[in-house]
Structure 1
Amino acid sequence: MIKDNQKYFNRLHLLVDAAVVAVSYLLAWYIKFCTIFADTEPGAGALDMRTYFSFLYFVVPEYIVLYYFFNMYAPKRATRRKYEIENILKANTVGIVFFIVVLYIIKQPDFSRFMMGAFFVINIVFTVVCRTLIRNMLLYFRRKGYNLKYMLLVGYSRAAEEYITRINANPQWGYVVRGILDDRVPSGTIYKGVKVVGRIENIKYILPENKLDEIAITLALKDYDRLENIVDLCEKSGVHTKFIPDYNSLVPSQPYTEDLMGLPVINIRYVPLTNTLNWVCKRAVDILGSLAGIILFSPIMLIAALAVKLTSRGPVIFKQERVGLHNKTFKMYKFRTMETQKAQTEQKAWTVKDDPRVTKIGRFLRHTSLDELPQLFNILAGEMSLVGPRPERPQFVEKFKEEIPRYMIKHQVRPGLTGWAQINGYRGDTSIRKRIEHDLFYIENWTMSLDFKIMFLTIFKGFINKNAY
């Protein structure tokens, strides 16, 4: 069983990490003092080899503790590779900074800075490579039927079905669901190969006879009055128990809790941009980015303005009311791409493929997204952001908020010139539900690096798009 071998695997993993840190340190020393870099740093040779090597007694335990602190010894079954790499970078950054502080405290100015920098880079590379090899080895064994974790689900619900679906879609996790216990669904009912094997009370007889690694409580909402009793039953078994709520559509993918004098409070929606520092950083990028964009694209905007003015009657800039941050409306600017029409006519529907209202030059501007460039002034004014959910007209907001769950969450951040949905092809006359799914992912998982990624991909996927009519 997994629980019998996990402690040995963790000890082995710790020894491997210790060896990697030591080898990286020794290799950094060798590169500094036994290669062409030997005489490139004045004062570095004041310390002998024995002194440099003695610091290993501090460096190796330091990094092992940091790896533990940054959760690098957690089970890897469902941990994304990118999160592990992020933790490696964080742990090594903190490690090298702490090392420098210690050298300063003990007044050791002659320790080679070049060697520390080399150790920092080498250790990150070696650790990433080593952990990738371990991860791939475990995936290989799981696909072969080894290193599996056997589970029992208590309660048949939407959560149970979604959990089974994800497990079946990811055999590399190595989970095997032995069955489901439920009092409402008849025994023998099968969902994607997993059978309901009996009533919940049978757990006291099943556990002693089956070698299980985990129990997952997947009760339906209507059975939550029994939750405390079932948790007590499961914990008496001594088997690791986890709870999968039947309201995952309400709770975000990365929920956060607050401790209210011992009472845990789960926040329904986590929006990173409510953090003041995140908000300031994003706004600073918006101001600098919009100013740079206005300067860079001013010749293109001038040509586009002349083309619109000379090819059709009406104003160059089209202003349209949109709903933005905190449900407040604002006037969004675009180059006019349609024949001038009455406001009531214009509000009836959005543009579709081969729309007769679009002018010839307007079709080109829409297809290349150049009609959106005046929104750089909306961004500079603070009404929009470079990246965020695209704003919609008030009448469509009123319609969609009744039809699409969680639609209004998009208004907890500033609307954007481009967004996660747009670079994934959801713009124009496409699925609103899919667009909202991508907008919610962006809102809940915002980072500055994600913004830069979206802006970069917009160059290749956002400007010219088959759905831009």
Structure 2
Amino acid sequence: MTTSTRRILRIGPLYPRPTLTRAVRHSADIVPDSLPAPSRPLSSKRARTYLLPIATDFIVLSIVCSVTRIDRPAQFAAIIVAILALTGAYHPHLTLSVLDTLPRLALASTLAAMGTAVILTPNGTLVGAVKLAAVTLFALVLSRNATNAVERYFRRRLRGGRRTVIIGGGPVAKILANSMVAEPSCGLQLIGLLDDSLLAETAHNGNVPITPLRGNLCEYLTTHHIDTAVLAFPHAVDGAIIHALRECDRIDCEIFAVPRLWELTAVTGDMEHIGAVPLKKFRRAAHRSFLWRVKLWMGRVLSAAMLVALAPTLLAIAVAVYFSDRSAPVLFRQKRVGLDDRIFELLKFRTMNPASDHESATHWCIAHDARIGRLGRILRATSLDELPQLWNVIRGDMTLVGPRPERPHFVDKFRATVPNYAARHRVPTGITGWAAVNGLRGDTSIGNRTRFDNYYIENWSMWFDVKVLLLTAVAVIKLGGK
């Protein structure tokens, strides 16, 4: 870990939110943090923010549909709620305002009502669909007003706010701190401010206390039950901040950041705001989601199916490799580094003349390596030598799409010389990947590979995997491998 990385991970004592004033008090007036940790984890609070509007929408929609004599009101309500959930209409917001969400709510309710009318009343008229859309919007507005009122009560009266720290000690952090205290309905319970300023031990900015960072940020957030962290231009280099945040991938903590040039930034899409300060939310790491588990199991199922379907091809390649050099094994086995730096044995069809174990583990192969035979060049060009790795996927060593695995010797070397290289091992390695389909394989830049791999991890989706697999198929068909 670099010196700059260690600096951002220093953490000191934090302080509770002032209760006697609407401004953040002078550091001399604040006693050390004595607030008890919340009795419920953040996941239960998230469950409340999702389940409350869903249940309220279903009940209100059912009642309004019954009063307006719409057939099968419960079924209508269930389908509409399901469609709204799929469109992200139940995404929780820091600022509770029906007017802010009304345009999106109107569009979602109209589409949901039209779809519901087609499913349950295929012979209905356009007038009936419009009526249903109007009734749906009316019911949703009533429901959201009720839901927001209940949520405000929890946030204000029952201390249901999320324990929050601001990472930063400058003017923007001061504005944010004052806004959090002045607007308890945002649901953020300010615990304190953290910064890496060299003067943090003794200085403060106006009436905002600056507490120096010491220790490991991830461990501190976990130990002190911090639910939300807001980045507000701390005194640290971006690389150190990125490293610290990636270490927090596995904990249940929401991360927001004030965008650069925030005075010129419009609040759009999934952005939030506290007072007049826009916030960009870092989405929960995709590889910690339920869909990622679906990806892994789908990969195993597809790999098993491909092994069966490609059995004749695999047999033909195995026979060809065997007769190309009967003195060497058909399969090449080599130790590679996978998820969380675990070592596993990777399988490939042999494409090179046998080498010593030391040479195999430490020698970097290039495209025109003299040890590669004629058959080996064909197998490498078409990536057919990688097919035995389908068994690695079935065993759980790898997945279909992910960063390509590397040998331990080179992992240690690249970890010390290539920024963010270690972050590739947050996910299982893959047979193909975003870097590979962009031509970054073999004797190419490790820095570029790392950037492409981390881009894939940060932006992963099911469609991203489909896209990579399609591009891989096109490359194989065109013999585009190198």
TM-score, normalised relative to structure 2: 0.48
Larger radius of gyration: 1
Q: Relative contact order: is structure 1 or structure 2 higher (C-alpha 8 Å, sep ≥ 6)?
A: 2
